[in-house]
């Protein structure tokens, strides 16, 4: 078990002296804890204080709290630094693969013997089924030992990469970490030497030659292959045999595979007692052997000159539920790994850059591929690249995130965000940022990264997790827990405009519960509410969708939050349609007023473009965002009659940005006014009877409608609204006179 405790000799750099909150039992020498829930804090009399993070504090730290405790908010600069050190971070990696493992029970003689046995098997193409002298157990043990050595070398290289790249983000650690990294480098070289014992340099050349071979003329007409079927079947089988052999030989660190293994796929599905089976198998093995001999001959003819090549490994991609950890050395085949352990001359593991001195044939193959190893030639008189030194302003320090007042914030850089992503798994997906070019904005982390790549300069003001708990927690308490099982989160909408719940499904009030109740657990519940709160002030929701992150794990805004931002209920715009001659269904010409700027998002608003329009959340749209959507307004819908057959019937074709309280109030008032107008028209035509006194009172209240928080309404459409109300009031008076006795 490695001891990865923070010790007093670890430099704290610019974070030294930062105030931190700690908890302890009473006593001058009591251990300091980061949480009152720590199992090592066995007292009910807990003292909570703010102390500077310095050597004295470090010396009293609880080891358990240090490694895994929540020292400070993870997204802060100090949080990033401490997460980089603790857990399985830098302090742990510096102890891993720093010297021989006491659990390893093999020596150099055993390695030499295992490597010799494997070379002997390949050289003589021994077959365990026919060769009585073949020792299956010894062969399998040798293969296990080879794979174990290569596995240790890859793990040690990845550990060194993680340690070097982490230390590079915090330059004040350079002098302290240098001897520890040197020990890891020395041990890595020892492991590389052990792995190189299992690689045949001539086999590496043969593999490169096999990769460059063109498809030979295949003996389709040879009667020895008659057991394979007709001429067409023989041709397909031999072509597959060729490509299978070339694929395996080009990826073998020894440049060849056993003919019996290569031929097995060709003979699969053919009974062994079929006439001509043995002749076909023997002919195929001879054919494969001739290809292997051709590759060895081409390798032997390779000119003596060698070439320097720089190779860049891909970034490590974290393990996901659908894919194991990949990138770095994980995606390299046996041939490429053999090249690295045999021809490596210089290595900057922190930046994943290696320098190889390889034969010309090997260099030609390396330079012909770009993934998973990106290679380029390096002149003999050129120094191996070590990468440009980062500017000191690119290192994580106080003021980049939320360690200082806003006035003292520092411009954020790509390196800052890379450190944030690396050491903060649950990094905030949305941030409030400020720049002189764009002012205050809410942007996804992916969009900030793209802007920085284009030269944008700005500071991070706050993330979603920085929002005051004094606002978020009461909101969560008002929302309450999810309804009992069997209760729909999407109740049927009220149809009567006089119902207090009419249109509620379109409003902001119903958005919060959806974002919370659709969350996976309580932690996601509060996170969704924070994201919803920070996103509600964004002018155009399409800017929140920065696409998938660099690891392809998901979009910035969870789909539950999109339900809190957008409503998939269709707007009933009949009150705002122009009056028509059909008294049974016609508009009242009510102005859009407060609804003028309501945003409507659809995946396709152009009937000339193939494909139906969908809501951004519709399962038929294959989207969970709005980046590429069309943005419409209610006026666009009123002016078009070509969309009904163009839009998805499941979701209605679009989603409405949830209405503010003022917009929802106007939406309800407009429907009430429209219903009154319809009732009066029908009564005037003799088809309906209504209580004129009640109607007059309702019109009086509607005449005085005004936005919430204001005394009067003098905005767009207010004059037309009053004229419509006045006309209806005159109509009520006329009906009074008509119906008077």
User: What string of H, E and C letters represents the secondary structure of 29-78?
Assistant: CCCEECCCCCCCCCCCCCEEEEEECCHHHHHCECHHHHHHCCCCCCCCHH
Flag the least confident range among 63-77, 492-506, 583-597: 63-77
User: Which pair of tokens denotes residue 470?
Assistant: 């004094």
Residue 208: which of 392, 359, 425, 319 has the closest Cα? 359
Range with top average pLDDT, 257-271, 500-514, 584-598: 500-514
Q: How far is the C-alpha of 296 from the C-alpha of 125, rounded, in Å? A: 15
CA 579, 584, 585: angle at the middle one, nearest 5?
A: 50
pLDDT at 235: 92
Residue 666: which of 580, 571, 582 has the closest Cα? 571
Identify whether the C-beta of residue 377 lies closer than 8 Å to the C-beta of residue 360: no
Mean pLDDT of the chain: 86
- Buried/exposed 197-209: b ≥16 CB within 10 Å, e otherwise: bbbbbebbbbbbb
Torsion of CA 414, 417, 422, 425, to 10 degrees: -150
* 581 has pLDDT over 80: no
Flag the least confident range among 59-68, 467-476, 566-575: 59-68
> Residue 346's beta-bridge partner residues?
355
Identify whether the C-beta of residue 414 lies closer than 8 Å to the C-beta of residue 449: yes
In the chain, the percentage of residues whose pLDDT exceeds 70 is 90
Question: Does 36 sit behind a cis peptide bond, omega within 30 degrees of 0 on the bond before it?
Answer: no
SS3 assignment, position 460:
strand
User: Which pair of tokens denotes residue 696?
Assistant: 């007059």
Identify whether the C-beta of residue 653 lies closer than 8 Å to the C-beta of residue 683: no
pLDDT, tens digit, for every residue of 356-407? 999 999 999 999 987 789 999 987 555 555 544 445 567 899 999 888 889 9
Query: What mean pLDDT do residues 308-322 have?
Result: 81
pLDDT, tens digit, for every residue of 180-202? 999 999 999 999 999 999 998 88
> Residue 602's beta-bridge partner residues?
630
Identify whether the C-beta of residue 698 lies closer than 8 Å to the C-beta of residue 691: no
Q: How far is the C-alpha of 423 from the C-alpha of 644, rounded, in Å? A: 49
pLDDT, tens digit, for every residue of 81-115? 988 998 889 999 999 999 988 777 788 899 999 99
pLDDT band at 552 (very low <50, low <70, confident <90, very high): very low
* 550 has pLDDT over 70: no
* 52 has pLDDT over 90: yes
> Residue 50's beta-bridge partner residues?
21
> Would you call 312 exposed, middle or buried from its count of C-beta atoms within 10 A (0-12, 13-18, 19+)?
middle
Element (H, E) at 354: strand 353-359
Flag the least confident range among 291-295, 412-416, 685-689: 685-689
Furthest CA-CA distance within the chain = 124
Q: How far is the C-alpha of 310 from the C-alpha of 377, rounded, in Å? A: 6
pLDDT at 620: 78
Identify whether the C-beta of residue 557 lies closer than 8 Å to the C-beta of residue 511: no
Residue 399: which of 15, 708, 83 has the closest Cα? 15
Q: Between 741 and 139, whose confidence is greater? A: 139
Q: How far is the C-alpha of 642 from the C-alpha of 462, rounded, in Å? A: 44
* 448 has pLDDT over 60: yes
pLDDT band at 561 (very low <50, low <70, confident <90, very high): very high
> Residue 630's beta-bridge partner residues?
602
Residue carrying structure tokens 């050597």: 55
SS3 assignment, position 124:
helix
Express the helix, strand and coil content of the chain in percent, nearest 5 each. Answer: 45, 10, 45
pLDDT, tens digit, for every residue of 14-26? 999 999 889 999 8
């Amino acid at each position: 078990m490695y001891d990865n405790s923070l010790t007093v000799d670890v430099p704290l750099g610019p974070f030294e002296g930062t105030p931190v909150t700690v908890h302890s039992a009473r006593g001058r020498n009591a251990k300091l804890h980061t949480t009152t829930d720590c199992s090592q804090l066995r007292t009910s009399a807990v003292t909570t204080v703010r102390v500077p993070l310095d050597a004295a504090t470090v010396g009293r730290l609880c080891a358990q709290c240090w490694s895994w405790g929540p020292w400070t908010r993870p997204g802060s600069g100090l949080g990033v630094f401490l997460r980089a050190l603790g857990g399985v971070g830098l302090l742990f990696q510096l102890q891993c693969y720093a010297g021989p493992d006491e659990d390893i029970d093999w020596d150099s003689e055993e390695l030499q013997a295992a490597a010799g046995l494997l070379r002997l098997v390949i050289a003589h193409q021994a077959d365990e089924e026919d060769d009585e002298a073949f020792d299956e157990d010894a062969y399998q043990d040798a293969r296990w030992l080879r794979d174990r050595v290569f596995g240790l070398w890859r793990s040690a290289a990845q550990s060194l990469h993680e340690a070097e790249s982490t230390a590079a983000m915090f330059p004040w650690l350079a002098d302290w970490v240098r001897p520890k990294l040197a020990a890891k480098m020395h041990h890595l070289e020892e492991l590389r030497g052990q792995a190189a014992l299992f690689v045949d340099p001539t086999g590496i050349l043969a593999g490169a030659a096999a990769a460059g071979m063109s498809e030979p003329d295949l003996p389709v007409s040879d009667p020895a292959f008659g057991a394979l079927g007709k001429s067409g079947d023989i041709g397909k089988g031999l072509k597959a045999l060729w490509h299978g052999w070339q694929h395996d030989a080009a990826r073998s660190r020894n440049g060849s595979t056993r003919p019996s293994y290569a031929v097995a796929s060709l003979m699969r599905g053919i009974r062994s007692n079929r006439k001509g089976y043995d002749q076909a198998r023997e002919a195929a093995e001879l054919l494969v052997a001739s290809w292997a001999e051709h590759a060895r001959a081409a390798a032997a003819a390779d000119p003596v000159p060698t070439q320097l090549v720089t190779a860049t490994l891909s970034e490590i991609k974290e393990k996901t539920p659908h894919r194991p950890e990949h990138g770095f050395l994980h995606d390299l085949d046996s041939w490429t790994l053999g090249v690295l352990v045999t021809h490596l001359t210089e290595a900057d593991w922190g930046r994943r850059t290696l320098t190889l001195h390889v034969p010309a044939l090997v260099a030609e193959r390396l330079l012909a591929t770009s993934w998973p190893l990106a290679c380029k030639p390096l002149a003999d008189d050129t120094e191996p690249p070590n990468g440009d030194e980062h500017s000191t302003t690119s290192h994580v320090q106080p003021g980049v995130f939320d360690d200082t007042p806003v006035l003292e914030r520092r411009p954020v850089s790509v390196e800052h965000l890379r450190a944030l992503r690396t050491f903060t798994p649950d990094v905030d997906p949305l941030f409030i940022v400020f720049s002189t070019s764009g002012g205050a904005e809410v942007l996804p982390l992916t969009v900030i990264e793209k802007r920085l790549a284009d030269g944008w300069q700005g500071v991070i003001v706050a993330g979603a997790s920085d929002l005051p708990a004094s606002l978020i927690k009461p909101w969560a308490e008002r929302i309450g827990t999810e309804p009992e099982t069997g209760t729909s989160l999407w109740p049927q909408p009220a149809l009567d405009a006089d119902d207090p719940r009419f249109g509620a499904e379109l409003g902001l009030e119903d958005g919060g519960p959806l974002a919370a109740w659709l969350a996976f657990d309580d932690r996601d519940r509060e996170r969704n509410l924070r994201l919803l709160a920070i996103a509600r002030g964004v002018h155009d929701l399409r800017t929140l969708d920065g696409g998938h992150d660099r690891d392809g794990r998901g979009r910035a805004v969870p789909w539950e939050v999109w339900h809190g931002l957008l409503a998939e209920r269709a707007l009933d715009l009949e009150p705002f349609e122009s009056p028509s001659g059909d008294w049974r269904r016609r508009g009242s010409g009510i102005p859009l007023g407060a609804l003028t700027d309501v945003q409507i998002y659809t995946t396709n608003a152009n009937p000339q473009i193939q494909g139906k329009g969908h809501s951004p959340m519709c399962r038929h749209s294959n989207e969970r965002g709005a980046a590429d959507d069309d943005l419409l307004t209610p006026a666009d819908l009123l002016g078009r009659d070509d969309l009904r057959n163009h839009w998805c019937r499941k979701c209605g074709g679009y989603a409405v940005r949830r209405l503010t309280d003022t917009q929802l109030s106007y939406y309800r008032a407009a429907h009430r006014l429209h219903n009154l107008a319809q009732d009066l028209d029908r009564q005037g035509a003799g088809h309906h009877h209504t209580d004129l006194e009640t109607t007059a009172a309702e019109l009086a209240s509607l005449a005085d409608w005004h936005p919430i928080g204001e005394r009067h309404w003098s905005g767009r459409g207010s004059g037309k609204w009053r004229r419509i109300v006045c006309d209806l009031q005159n109509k009520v008076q006329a009906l009074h006179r008509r119906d008077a006795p």
